[in-house]
Amino acid sequence: MPKERDSYSLWFSMAVLLLIIGIYGFLHSPFFQVQSIQANGSTYSPEQLAEIAGIEKGTSLLRLDVDLAARKLEQEPIISRAAVYRYLPDTVYIQVQERTPIAMVPSESGFFGVAADGTVLGRLGDGAVNLPIITGVEKGSILVGNKNAGELVIASMVLSGLPRAVRELVSEVNVMDRDGLKVISRSLVECHLGGPGDLQDKLDVVATLLPRLDSIPSDAYTIVDVSNPKRPVVRKLP
């Protein structure tokens, strides 16, 4: 009996070992190598996204670090969120959410887009010249991918706080003086916001007054002071 048990244990151990080797070989076989890369939500091609994420065709799908790939994608200024999924046996699916420019900021080499969170995007083409301009920003802050420029963040908050229809009336947001923020319409109605305190309350007043004032033809320069949103003041200058 002991010899039979020893023989059975030996065969069982060998079978388990062969099974493990077989599973390992199967999981690392070409059957589970990345062959197809699909993507959604991006202006980049799947191949461009894969290159940014460090994903190469022929690599093992099972050993792919999808979290690391997503973090690499999110380092790209235009990509705000990314997720990478495995689909057995050979497909990688990339889902991204991109930032879009809400304004533009001038620099020595042209106009750069600015996203709603203040991130500096790439240089804009001629088709985006109708976006509001952010002025009063230090030139050194205008670097693609920069997310920490306080003036750009404030200006983006101003524009994001306005309804889209009102935002389309805006020509300029001036942030040179943080205690003297200004929103200037395309018909040169100038809204003085004061500092960033109670910002949304001020923007709600601007959203109410600006469309009315902007629609009235006037030879006078109009200033709307909403630094105290409870008592806005409208002045006409000759």
Domain with 78 in it: what CATH number?
3.10.20.310
Per the structure, the count of domains in the chain is 2
Q: Which residues are CB-contacts of 135 (< 8 A; sequence separation ≥ 6)?
A: 106, 172, 173, 174, 175, 176
CATH number reported for the structural domain that contains residue 127 in this entry: 3.40.50.11690
170 and 85, same structural domain? no
Question: What mean pLDDT is predicted for residues 93-98?
Answer: 96
- Phi and psi at residue 211, to the nearest 5°: -60, -35
Neighbouring CB atoms inside 10 A of 45's CB total 11
More confident residue, 22 or 50: 50
What's the pLDDT band for 152 if we cut at 50, 70, 90? very high
Express the helix, strand and coil content of the chain in percent, nearest 5 each: 35, 30, 35
Does 147 reside within a domain?
A: yes
In the prediction, which pLDDT does 172 show? 96
Does 87 reside within a domain?
A: yes
Does 16 reside within a domain?
A: no
In the prediction, which pLDDT does 15 show? 56
Question: What mean pLDDT is predicted for residues 10-17?
Answer: 56
147 and 48, same structural domain? no
Does 4 reside within a domain?
A: no
Does 15 reside within a domain?
A: no
127 and 189, same structural domain? yes
132 and 59, same structural domain? no
Q: Which among 52, 75, 98 is the end of a domain?
A: 98
* Alpha carbon separation from 11 to 2, 8, 17, 23 (Å, rounded): 14, 5, 10, 18
Does 165 reside within a domain?
A: yes
Q: Domain limits at 86?
A: 33-98
Does 54 reside within a domain?
A: yes
Q: Which among 98, 122, 155 is the end of a domain?
A: 98
Does 92 reside within a domain?
A: yes
* 186 vs 209: CA distance, rounded Å: 14
Neighbouring CB atoms inside 10 A of 112's CB total 22
In the prediction, which pLDDT does 108 show? 82
94 and 113, same structural domain? no
Q: Which among 98, 124, 142 is the end of a domain?
A: 98
Q: Is the dihedral of CA 226, 227, 230, 233 positive or negative?
A: negative
220 and 112, same structural domain? yes
